[in-house]
Structure 1
Amino acid sequence: MLGVFLVYYAYSSFTADQLEIMKGHFKNANYNYIVIATIFSIVSLWSRAYRWNFALEYMGYKSKTSTNLMAISIGYIMNLTLPRSGEFSRALILQKYEKIPFDKGFGTIVSERIVDLICLLLCVFTVFVFQYNVLKDFLMERIPIQKLLLLGSFLLCGLVVGVLLFLYSQWKPILFIKRKVAGLIEGVVSIYKMPKKGAFLLHTLIIWGTYILTFYFGMCALEETSAQSFGVVMAAFVAGSFAVSFTNGGFGAFPLIISELLLFYGISQEAGTAFGWILWSSQTGLVVLMGALSFLILPLFYRNKN
């Protein structure tokens, strides 16, 4: 619903002339660059699937990279319906097809997300180093600081209450959660204790490097967005990453946030919005295609194996 509202909000402000200009951007885009961007996205998916094995092997479990890839693809398509539901589906798939306990599989996924968060924060730091003056003005105009502080205080109080209940309550549901959390923690710490930390780090660099390259080549598709500096590409990448993280795959939010940010760099709203929709549509199309194929192939693959 949020995505639908954002789409309506964005396009209700465009005039008929602006919509015609946007259509021209869609028509004149160089989609060869979108194909290149899509290839880098596929590389990142494969690298993430391969990297998952390192944490699983440390805990004594094995899973095929092809199974990991299909689980991740299904997880991504699930995230389009309900944010973060894909993480649960990934763990459930490994439990069903590779007999890996849900709590431990989910623990490795949580540890991956912690690493991803660190990488995203490093990208944010890089952007602020290169683009501080521009981003300071953008954030001050767009982010309601007081409301965020109030929400943060509310969440902090809830966290304190939850931790106290978890530590001292003897209620049976709490004790059950404690047992599950023990397996979850084992999965989380697997990254820090695994013997192949170097290979894990290498694939982490590949994943995030291909993310940035996907964005870079996506921006090359339009003449108005192609001649931008590394700092601008990184700023747009970070903005798009947050849009995808906090909504259903970035629907509505991704083009809106990207266009608002690029406007600060002198790129017209029509070009910024067109770029956002072109890149989002191509990436979402890939997610839907690979997720749908995985839904079909995964049961057949294991039925034939058995």
Structure 2
Amino acid sequence: MQDALEHSDAEAVRDDSPQQPKTWKSIVSKWLSIVLPLALGFALIVYQYNQFTPQQLQEMKGYFVSANYFYIGLSLFVALFGFLSRAYRWKFALEHMGYQTHFKNNLMAVCISYFINLTIPRSGEISRAVILKKYEDVPFSKGFGTIVAERIVDLAIFFLFVCVSLLFQFRTLKNFILEYIPVEKLIWLAVIGFVGFIAFIVIWIYSRWTLIEKLKTKVSGLTEGLLSIYYMEKKWPYLFHSFFIWFTYFMMFYITIFALPETSDIRLGAVMIAFVFGSLAMGFTNSGFGAFPLLIAQIFLLYGVSNTAGTAFGWLVWISQTLLIVVLGLVSFILLPVLNRNK
């Protein structure tokens, strides 16, 4: 099924832009994008596994056995609304460009994109645009442009989560940082960071380096994507669904804390910090493989949750979400051609 999708991807790009011949560099780059995140994930799992004694590993198994899976199921039920909302939000951007698409195809494209991202990070966005071209006849470049605009909005909302979390948990994080990094080093880091920022601004304005020019082009494209949302006729419903999607993400994470007695009494601010770091972990490896449980456990340690309980919680969240993505992705792969027989 994935081979067929990649074939469709090639056709889509061929229709919208000149075909680019494959080179050894592109082939190696593609395989590295698959192997390196997986290798990092396995390395993190081995590292974390070696930190536990046999007794702690047995204790962690106990958490999986005694967990209240009602809350796991409830969190996945909430997650479904995030999938539905993301598919519905997509319609607003496509309608703004004059394309009327079927909600079912939008939804299945979203589910498949999450599934594809489990294999090659960020390749799911391409698959969404490919599916839209194949079944809704939306040009690949325009469909992909709407997805880029979504990512910009999602990044802005995530940054808002970061700011709110830091605001409410500043004291805890400050004490944690000061415990491991002396004040003198923090001052030097601040000075180096400020000088580096000024140097970057000067280079950005005056440099003609190829890399900087490429970055400016990408930033210009991101700005254009944001402006397209500003001029969108239904921008307020679009923004409502954008915030609702992240609300479901957070609630899915928050509900799961009640699955374990050891995590059920964690404060809301602590959950927000863990959610932020867990979201960051999703970009380190394939959908957070290995990195997600490790970071969650480290954050929960700050709030008195044992390393074993925090790690078990992280794996419960990651495994349940991944299983949901796999099921929805495979079902969508099967139903997409069946429900579009006349296409």
| TM-score of the pair, normalised by structure 2 | 0.77
Q: 2:163 aligns with which of 117, 125, 138?
A: 125
Q: Percent identity?
A: 50
Separation of aligned partners in 2, 1:184 and 1:124? 21
Written as runs of structure 1 = structure 2, the 5 A alignment for 1:145-160 is none
Gaps in structure 2 of 5+ consecutive residues: 1-38
CA shift in 2, pair 1:94/1:16, >3 Å: same
CA shift in 2, pair 1:160/1:271, >3 Å: farther
CA offsets, 1:175-204, max 9 Å, x none? xxx9x9999976553312111111112212
Q: CA RMSD in A?
A: 2.9
Separation of aligned partners in 2, 1:46 and 1:252? 28
Residue of structure 1 in register with 2:298 after alignment: 260
CA-CA distance at 1:88 after TM superposition: 1.0
Separation of aligned partners in 2, 1:16 and 1:265? 24
* 8 Å Cα contact 2:59/2:308 also seen in 1: yes
CA shift in 2, pair 1:181/1:276, >3 Å: closer
**Quick one: which amino acid aligns to residue 98 of structure 2?**
G
Separation of aligned partners in 2, 1:26 and 1:133? 32
SS of 1:223 mapped into structure 2:
coil
Q: 1:161 aligns with which of 188, 198, 210?
A: 210
Is 2:90 the partner of 1:52? Answer: yes
Written as runs of structure 1 = structure 2, the 5 A alignment for 1:133-282 is 133-138=171-176, 141=180, 161-164=210-213, 189-282=227-320
CA-CA distance at 1:161 after TM superposition: 2.4
CA-CA distance at 1:127 after TM superposition: 0.5
Q: 2:339 aligns with which of 291, 301, 305?
A: 301
Separation of aligned partners in 2, 1:239 and 1:269? 16
Written as runs of structure 1 = structure 2, the 5 A alignment for 1:50-89 is 50-89=88-127
**Quick one: which amino acid aligns to residue 104 of structure 2?**
S
Gaps in structure 1 of 5+ consecutive residues: 168-177
**Quick one: which amino acid aligns to residue 237 of structure 1?**
F
Equivalences, count: 291
CA shift in 2, pair 1:119/1:160, >3 Å: farther
Is 2:36 the partner of 1:20? Answer: no
**Quick one: which amino acid aligns to residue 161 of structure 1?**
T
CA shift in 2, pair 1:139/1:93, >3 Å: farther
* 8 Å Cα contact 1:104/1:184 also seen in 2: no
SS of 2:104 mapped into structure 1:
helix
* 8 Å Cα contact 2:82/2:249 also seen in 1: yes
**Quick one: which amino acid aligns to residue 241 of structure 1?**
S
Separation of aligned partners in 2, 1:135 and 1:54? 39
* 8 Å Cα contact 2:152/2:222 also seen in 1: no
Separation of aligned partners in 2, 1:165 and 1:227? 48
**Quick one: which amino acid aligns to residue 252 of structure 1?**
G
CA shift in 2, pair 1:12/1:45, >3 Å: same
SS of 1:245 mapped into structure 2:
coil
